[in-house]
Structure 1
Amino acid sequence: MNLLSNVCYQPKVKEIIVANKTIMPVECSGDLQITTHVGGNSFDINVNNVLYVPNLTTNLLSVSRIISNGNRVEFNQHGCLIYNSQNDCIGEAKLKNGVYRLNVVNTWHRRLGHINSTDLNKLKNGAVEGVSFDEKCGPNKASCTICCEGKQTRLPFPQSVSKSHEVLELIHTDICGPMENVSLGKARYYLLFIDDFSRMCTVYFLREKNETFKYFKQYKELVETQQSKKIKILRSDNGGEFCSSEMENYLRQCGIVHQKTNSYTPEQNGLSERYNRSIVEKARCFLFDAQFEKFLWAEAVNTAVYIKNRTPTASIKENTTPYELWTGRKPKLDHLRIFGSPVMVHVPKEKRRKWDKKAKKMFLVGYSENIKGYRMYDPIARNIIVARDVVVMENIDDSSATTITINEERPPEGVQEEEEQDTSVSQKDETFIPGNSSSDTDTSYSDTLSPEDMDLVSMQRDSSTPEKRVRRKPDYYGYANMCAEMTGEPITVSDILNSPEKEQWQCAMKEELKSFRENDTWELTDRPKDKTVVKSKWVFKKKLNSEGDVRYRARLVAKGFTQLKGIDFNETFSPVLRYSTFRLLIALSVKLDLKMNHLDVPTAFLNGFLDETVFMEIPECSEFQNCNNKVLKLKKAVYGLKQSARAWHIRVEDCLLKLGYKKSDNEPCLFIKSDKNTKVYIGLFVDDFFVFYNCQSTYEQLMKELVEKFRIKDLGQMKQCLGMNINVYENCITVDQKKFIETILKRFNMSDCSCCDTPMEINLKLKKIVDNNSEKGKGYPYQQLIGSLMYLSVLTRPDITFSVSFLSQYNNGFNETHWKHLKRLLKYLKKTIDYGLVYKKNADILHGYVDADWASCSLDRRSYTGYCFIMSGSIVSYESKKQKTVALSSTEAEYMALSESCKEGIYLKNLLNELVLCENMSLCLYSDNQSSIKIASNPLFHNKRTKHIDIRHHFVRECVLQNKIKIEYVSTNDMPADILTKSLCKEKHYKFLSLMGVSKV
């Protein structure tokens, strides 16, 4: 926006549509003047009525607009030339991947940490190598928004009148912190050492201030060895970390004079203070410019120091840098790139297989001092790695992906050398690279971006290495510059007031308040003196509809964490429909030809009545701006209250009971209306209604009555609900989670991974990592992936249930080996992504299988129980869990598994009796252990081998005696529950999947 003049905040064009159908608001318009530099002459290109679209990531210049101002543009195979009416060439743009680009000095301004224009011109005039631009187009602080945000200052400190005459004669030091965010290496402080003569700066990252003495000794040994000189004077403030007896004794022994400032007079150590300010400003600009989170402050500071050492300063002679005074060599800066630029990191062939991707996407956060390479942040693993084979895409639209070479020898400044001990927070802490010690070929590298559209060239090419052929980018690369993502979502109301989408968000807020009024949710009242008032908050969200249009959602919620138990709320529990019940209803729908419809209540929680008196603060909005000392007395529940879900469930339960539906005795979220001719089953899952019925008129009557009570939407036949895809065919119903699997694979960069036939190796044994301080497991999103897989395993994928249960034991003690086996599970899901549950007509009635694997857990020698119940040809209920008691024999383990599965079987049998009125139905349970069957079937079978078994496990005997279940033997080769107790070979695995009714859908 700072490039525009004559700005108009009421533009004629209010919004634009980009290539991906995203609608972007236009904030203002104005006149643009571009200064170009051609053949040593400067020219101005004027374009009127230019639109300012804040959410566009690239400045786009229309050729037609240039021509409309009396200019002409000529294109050739290398680029294009712009001529004015006098036929003077006033601009030149190079063709890169289908896009014509004007090179501007602002790129160097950003690469160098938003350096000021004076120092930037010094770099161009010979202070360093590799920097060139038109100095007449240089930026200034006032023209750069990031500089204004990151560098606003107070008056400067007075300069010292004396200056040293050689390196190490005087060293300035200061510590900065604690920072509000812990860095990736757990640091909260950084420590600076500045050589007064050369202005060479060195930074260390500390977890605690008491590490200062340790790092000073490291610094002293390092610089004195490199410079062959001794430190004479150390100047610091009066901080305890610098004035400790340990530090003073050491300085005295080394003959170093310690100059300290007066208390509360930091200006006497002005150089350190000024450097601190300058470094923080650069680092702040880096983070703002890259839109990074604050925990990356250490990387930004490290890069700021790196650049500070390689740029001129007013206190040393002209066209000289600290780096040159320290090393005697001019620094080369042609390898610098903008902080935060996307980077494609080459995956070594040792870390991938033949058809694996050859690159992984990360973000550039700095330059390594000890290794010739770039420092990259991996947002998936949340760690820093150093690599030399990279492609930097400096601008988000820069598909040319410049290849960079670093040949400069670096001095030991910036961040200290790596140490073996892990107590310091140095470059080692910030550059943890998972997988370095592993020889596995597919451990740390994979990516969703195709490497076939780019060449990955080594950053340091050996002279004997032949030139690599450069592959031409596809033609459509250039069109990518016209695409843009949706803008971010505001956090507070004040963010909306400064947002270009202010009108849309305000309309969303008004719509939300309207729903509260229509629902009679509250009444305005005076603030009570002796009551707690719950705070309120706006939550803003953007959603895309099926056509790709943006929908703005604003939701007013209560801050439930401010409620007091016993005053603002009592009971909070609210049930939801069990997944096994949902699957049973689907299986029953196939058998009875029931229709399945999905209903949704958009503002469900607003319908619940409160038993307690709750007051809520007035929300931020224009509707309540003149309501001082007023609060809202809630008549009904609102989102965020601890009892809202319970209040809603009680309300909807009461409504269905009044409509003549019977609440199930076995499932609190199931309501039944059944006779000889009519069957209607309603399952509740928070604000979702799942209706299974065989009579259309009864369903229409139900809808009519529900609409009178609630705002409800009929979403039609079930297709997508609870994360599952449901497809109804003439003779079967399939249930799968293909889309959810695709989301998992994409989230963890495994979309293009290789495939595995089984989810886990046979007889896999892993050790739990006890050392909590071990770095080996840090950086891997192990627990996040386990959580995603658990959701998948309990809904539609019993084939991974045992593997997920087994690997979840190591949530608090994993390393790279565990992560490798977890990734294998993703590879199996990639192969079986089309698998799901297939329910068929005319299939068997409800029956179950149960199995146990004796003492299979190497951690505690407990056994695994696995059971599954099948109806209509597919699984309706299943579980894989470790037994709570150590079994002394395989018979005992199988007997305890029988008891556990019996409980679930009785529940399903009773539920089915309620649904289809078949009280005499018999449930058959199959086991492959004849000894356990005899113990369960014969109450007289009691000897010293079974007398110690807990009485709770003898529940199965009672069920057999009462003919509630019947236990029969089946061969181990025909036992599908075996897949729930152990990992199997490929042949058995897919055989048992078929027996469970899990196949391609």
Structure 2
Amino acid sequence: MSKGQVKPVQKSTSTRAVKKLFRVYLDLGGKMKTRSIGGNWYTLIIRDDFSRWTRVFFLKHKSDAAVGFEKFLADYRTKGVPCEVCIARTDGGGEFQGQFAELCRRHGIKEEFTPPHTPKYNGVAERALGLITDAALASRIQATQLFPDAPNHPGLWAEAISCACHQLNCTATKSNEGDKSAYEMFHDSPPPVGSTYPFLKPAVFKSRRKAKSQPKGEKGWYLGPAHNHPRECLSMTSPIGQKPSDVEAVPMTYKDVMCSKYKVFWEAAMKKEIDGHDKTGTFTKVKELYEGQKATGSKWVLSWKTNDKGLIVDFKAPSIKTVIAVASEKGKKLAHWDVKQAYIHAKLKDELYLRFPGGCGSMSGKVVNVESALYGLKQSGREWGFEAADALIEDGYEQYRVDPCVFRKVVDGEVVGLIVIYVDDILVAADEGGREELFASLNKKSPVKDLGECTLYDGCAIAMDVENGITKLSQTAYIESMLKRFDVTTTAFTPAATDADLGPKRDDEPAVDKPVREAIGCLMWTKLTRPDIALPLNKLQKIAHSPTGMIWNALVRIMSYLNFTKDFGITYVRGLGLDLSVFVYASYADNEVDRRSTTGLAGVKEAVFVRGVLPFHFIRELFKSGKITAEYVPTGEQHADMLTKVLGREKLEYHRKALMNLPM
């Protein structure tokens, strides 16, 4: 018996359509792994036989193929004629039966089916779908290299396919006479110049304004052209590079995320978080809880991540000043490291069950056993602190007793490395060789990312000039956002008037509905670099439980002063040494209620400002051992004076310059 031969499929056909839309080829792609941001799973491709002009439609269900084809027919309908399509060729799949067949009969379209199990006979659509899908994947990979800040979310696969389809339509092809593009064959004119922009390219597009005073354009990313208007394009708004106060508020719940204009960004950040937990084995699945066991509820906590200028770059203590002062004096550069999902690298000792919130994909609502520390648990900070301390001690660092967040490495009696850890942020002051060795060692235990030279740490902007030995700490961006939040536009030369009444509420004073506590909380953070507002703010903190108009006006006065001096901060200059000079001063029975005095301590080198009294016996022991000495300082040179009483402009500026090392 001879072996049966299969007749080869012809590479070309003599029955190619002689006019556009006479015959179209259709094919439906398989289900994608990720749902698109529009909620679709399938891709329907329709290709014109004459011009090779191609359109793609995205469907939620396979049975929606008829709906997609009807949209195609409506886009190219002529006056008085239901449609121009005469023949529709498909592979005869179930999605092209029933409703699809009824649609073809209604519009007078003949259906052509390929033989079973021979997709080659529908190669015009099959090859085009494969080529477009590959091009879409390549464009997404390229976007991560060209535009690192672009939101390359997996759910953007539909937009990437649509953009790739348009780009291929505008590309010359040998399938057409004269190597003309499908666009030129279909529209009888070449594609417009510059019509093929890269996918996810940063762009500025026209936005709808609610008022004429608002800007006409809005930043975003290019997703592809629109088909309803030649000058229209698909785009996605971007919060990157803007201030948090200028964009949509951070969502508080998963439902808010689904309604947010930045939904894609939040979903990408949430997926990244869940993937991180999966890789580290933070959770183990639980089939059911035994009697008496309860699952702790959970929720998403979202926030913006900003840079040193207060601009959004991503969708998330006094000891710091000590390290910066030493680094400035020793001429060491400050490196900023970030531990990815820091808490989950520490194991929990207790048994804990957690119920996932919405937005966790297939795990939403399910109960798991928590193996590692997790943000929001009371014990997580402690466990991560132990884990980080053990890792640094293994590398030769020792932990400060006074501040457990500070570590130092001593070699031959000299400090060669200083480290501050604030949750997942690490500030390192060491030589390049020491930094590289420590970085490699820590990466073996936890994934650590090098963010480069430190310019922003814990909300403070750090401007370091190693060559000239000058380092400045400031909170300009934070102050500007605070002023905008409370709508303060006025300015003042001092944080409080010399005759200001900062005492408790009087019986005849009515309460006011003002965000007093919120304002105090914001101002407290600025004290990190602004000791000049410490006194009036501390006095107002004591009486914040009874908000009055007087208290609110006093807070506005402090914010007005910060508005006038928002660029001020603490400056360190190399050559002044590391000796700490502490100015101590006290008022005389200035409290009108209990006649207590106000004591102020100010360390000039580190710009430490404390209000209160150190333990008497501790000071006496240091004085007796000769570790500290006491010297008389005239009232005019007592820089702690501004921490005990409200001063006028001239005296305030003099003492402020000494404590903050400001230029004249």
Describe the shift of the 1:983–1:491 C-alpha distance in structure 2 as closer, same or farther (beyond 3 A).
closer
Cα deviation for residue 975 of structure 1 reads: 0.6
For residues 532 and 636 of structure 2, the distance between their equivalents in structure 1, rounded to whole angstroms, comes to: 17
- Structure 1 residue runs of 5 or longer lacking an equivalent are 1-24, 29-67, 71-395, 401-452, 454-476, 554-578, 882-899, 904-952
For residues 660 and 767 of structure 1, the distance between their equivalents in structure 2, rounded to whole angstroms, comes to: 51
Contact persistence 2:607–2:660 (CA under 8 A): no
1:381-408 CA-partner distances (Å, limit 9, x unpaired): xxxxxxxxxxxxxxx94547xxxxxxxx
Describe the shift of the 1:831–1:537 C-alpha distance in structure 2 as closer, same or farther (beyond 3 A).
closer
> Equivalent residue for 1:854?
588
Describe the shift of the 1:716–1:497 C-alpha distance in structure 2 as closer, same or farther (beyond 3 A).
closer
Contact persistence 1:397–1:480 (CA under 8 A): no
> Equivalent residue for 1:719?
455
> Equivalent residue for 1:537?
299
Within a 5 Å distance, the mapping from 1:423-442 to structure 2 comes to: none
Describe the shift of the 1:762–1:505 C-alpha distance in structure 2 as closer, same or farther (beyond 3 A).
closer
> Equivalent residue for 2:114?
none
Describe the shift of the 1:995–1:663 C-alpha distance in structure 2 as closer, same or farther (beyond 3 A).
same
For residues 954 and 509 of structure 1, the distance between their equivalents in structure 2, rounded to whole angstroms, comes to: 53
Describe the shift of the 1:968–1:616 C-alpha distance in structure 2 as closer, same or farther (beyond 3 A).
same
Describe the shift of the 1:756–1:552 C-alpha distance in structure 2 as closer, same or farther (beyond 3 A).
closer
1:614 corresponds, among 338, 347, 352, to 352
1:829 corresponds, among 558, 562, 579, to 562
> Equivalent residue for 2:428?
691
1:954-999 CA-partner distances (Å, limit 9, x unpaired): 5533332221211011111111000110011222111111221342
> Equivalent residue for 1:787?
521
1:393-425 CA-partner distances (Å, limit 9, x unpaired): xxx94547xxxxxxxxxxxxxxxxxxxxxxxxx
Cα deviation for residue 548 of structure 1 reads: 8.5
> Equivalent residue for 2:609?
878
Cα deviation for residue 510 of structure 1 reads: 3.6
Cα deviation for residue 480 of structure 1 reads: 6.4
> Equivalent residue for 1:984?
647
1:839 aligns with 2:576: no
For residues 460 and 618 of structure 2, the distance between their equivalents in structure 1, rounded to whole angstroms, comes to: 35
> Equivalent residue for 1:961?
624
> Equivalent residue for 1:648?
384
For residues 687 and 511 of structure 1, the distance between their equivalents in structure 2, rounded to whole angstroms, comes to: 16
Contact persistence 1:724–1:735 (CA under 8 A): yes
1:657 corresponds, among 380, 385, 393, to 393
Cα deviation for residue 509 of structure 1 reads: 4.1
Contact persistence 1:618–1:624 (CA under 8 A): no
Cα deviation for residue 869 of structure 1 reads: 1.1
1:112-141 CA-partner distances (Å, limit 9, x unpaired): xxxxxxxxxxxxxxxxxxxxxxxxxxxxxx
Describe the shift of the 1:811–1:523 C-alpha distance in structure 2 as closer, same or farther (beyond 3 A).
same
Contact persistence 2:305–2:314 (CA under 8 A): yes
Q: Secondary structure of the residue that 2:532 maps to in structure 1? A: helix
The percent identity for this pair of structures is 28
Q: Secondary structure of the residue that 1:691 maps to in structure 2? A: strand
> Equivalent residue for 1:128?
none
Q: Secondary structure of the residue that 2:321 maps to in structure 1? A: helix
Within a 5 Å distance, the mapping from 1:453-468 to structure 2 comes to: none
1:211-242 CA-partner distances (Å, limit 9, x unpaired): xxxxxxxxxxxxxxxxxxxxxxxxxxxxxxxx
Describe the shift of the 1:816–1:994 C-alpha distance in structure 2 as closer, same or farther (beyond 3 A).
same
For residues 373 and 438 of structure 2, the distance between their equivalents in structure 1, rounded to whole angstroms, comes to: 25
For residues 993 and 550 of structure 1, the distance between their equivalents in structure 2, rounded to whole angstroms, comes to: 33
1:462-500 CA-partner distances (Å, limit 9, x unpaired): xxxxxxxxxxxxxxx683699988667666556667778
Q: Secondary structure of the residue that 1:599 maps to in structure 2? A: strand
For residues 515 and 567 of structure 2, the distance between their equivalents in structure 1, rounded to whole angstroms, comes to: 25
Describe the shift of the 1:689–1:973 C-alpha distance in structure 2 as closer, same or farther (beyond 3 A).
same
The amino acid that maps onto 1:819 is W
> Equivalent residue for 1:638?
374
Describe the shift of the 1:632–1:673 C-alpha distance in structure 2 as closer, same or farther (beyond 3 A).
same
For residues 311 and 554 of structure 2, the distance between their equivalents in structure 1, rounded to whole angstroms, comes to: 38
When normalised by structure 2's length, the TM-score is: 0.59
Q: Which has the higher strand share?
A: 1
> Equivalent residue for 1:593?
331
Describe the shift of the 1:528–1:810 C-alpha distance in structure 2 as closer, same or farther (beyond 3 A).
same
2:484 corresponds, among 746, 755, 770, to 746
Q: Secondary structure of the residue that 1:867 maps to in structure 2? A: strand
The amino acid that maps onto 2:632 is Y
Cα deviation for residue 504 of structure 1 reads: 6.1
> Equivalent residue for 2:321?
583
Q: Secondary structure of the residue that 1:642 maps to in structure 2? A: coil
For residues 622 and 802 of structure 1, the distance between their equivalents in structure 2, rounded to whole angstroms, comes to: 47
Contact persistence 1:836–1:1000 (CA under 8 A): no
For residues 638 and 481 of structure 1, the distance between their equivalents in structure 2, rounded to whole angstroms, comes to: 37
Within a 5 Å distance, the mapping from 1:222-621 to structure 2 comes to: 397=209, 399=211, 479=216, 507-529=268-290, 530-539=292-301, 579-620=317-358
Describe the shift of the 1:618–1:740 C-alpha distance in structure 2 as closer, same or farther (beyond 3 A).
closer
Contact persistence 2:284–2:371 (CA under 8 A): yes
The amino acid that maps onto 1:980 is L
For residues 987 and 728 of structure 1, the distance between their equivalents in structure 2, rounded to whole angstroms, comes to: 29
Q: Secondary structure of the residue that 2:482 maps to in structure 1? A: helix
The amino acid that maps onto 1:688 is D
Cα deviation for residue 714 of structure 1 reads: 1.1
1:647-704 CA-partner distances (Å, limit 9, x unpaired): 11111111112222222233211222111476011111111111111x2111101111
- Structure 2 residue runs of 5 or longer lacking an equivalent are 1-36, 41-75, 79-207, 221-236, 240-246
> Equivalent residue for 2:439?
703
> Equivalent residue for 1:756?
492
1:242-263 CA-partner distances (Å, limit 9, x unpaired): xxxxxxxxxxxxxxxxxxxxxx
When normalised by structure 1's length, the TM-score is: 0.40
The amino acid that maps onto 1:996 is L
Within a 5 Å distance, the mapping from 1:30-45 to structure 2 comes to: none
The amino acid that maps onto 1:975 is Q
The amino acid that maps onto 1:727 is A
For residues 500 and 741 of structure 1, the distance between their equivalents in structure 2, rounded to whole angstroms, comes to: 27
The amino acid that maps onto 1:966 is T
Cα deviation for residue 623 of structure 1 reads: 5.4
Cα deviation for residue 719 of structure 1 reads: 0.8
For residues 389 and 347 of structure 2, the distance between their equivalents in structure 1, rounded to whole angstroms, comes to: 12
Describe the shift of the 1:495–1:846 C-alpha distance in structure 2 as closer, same or farther (beyond 3 A).
closer
The amino acid that maps onto 1:857 is N
For residues 711 and 855 of structure 1, the distance between their equivalents in structure 2, rounded to whole angstroms, comes to: 55
Q: Secondary structure of the residue that 1:850 maps to in structure 2? A: strand
For residues 580 and 860 of structure 1, the distance between their equivalents in structure 2, rounded to whole angstroms, comes to: 31
Describe the shift of the 1:835–1:512 C-alpha distance in structure 2 as closer, same or farther (beyond 3 A).
closer
For residues 322 and 269 of structure 2, the distance between their equivalents in structure 1, rounded to whole angstroms, comes to: 40
Q: Secondary structure of the residue that 1:811 maps to in structure 2? A: coil
1:803 aligns with 2:565: no
2:403 corresponds, among 644, 652, 667, to 667
1:281-319 CA-partner distances (Å, limit 9, x unpaired): xxxxxxxxxxxxxxxxxxxxxxxxxxxxxxxxxxxxxxx
For residues 691 and 487 of structure 1, the distance between their equivalents in structure 2, rounded to whole angstroms, comes to: 35
Q: Secondary structure of the residue that 1:665 maps to in structure 2? A: coil
For residues 746 and 499 of structure 1, the distance between their equivalents in structure 2, rounded to whole angstroms, comes to: 22
1:735-789 CA-partner distances (Å, limit 9, x unpaired): 1111111112111111x31x222111224334532559x7x33222222111111
Contact persistence 1:768–1:814 (CA under 8 A): no
Describe the shift of the 1:804–1:515 C-alpha distance in structure 2 as closer, same or farther (beyond 3 A).
same
Contact persistence 2:602–2:608 (CA under 8 A): yes
Contact persistence 1:27–1:500 (CA under 8 A): no
1:813-850 CA-partner distances (Å, limit 9, x unpaired): 34222322221212211221221111111115221110
Contact persistence 1:864–1:981 (CA under 8 A): yes
1:427-480 CA-partner distances (Å, limit 9, x unpaired): xxxxxxxxxxxxxxxxxxxxxxxxxx8xxxxxxxxxxxxxxxxxxxxxxx6836
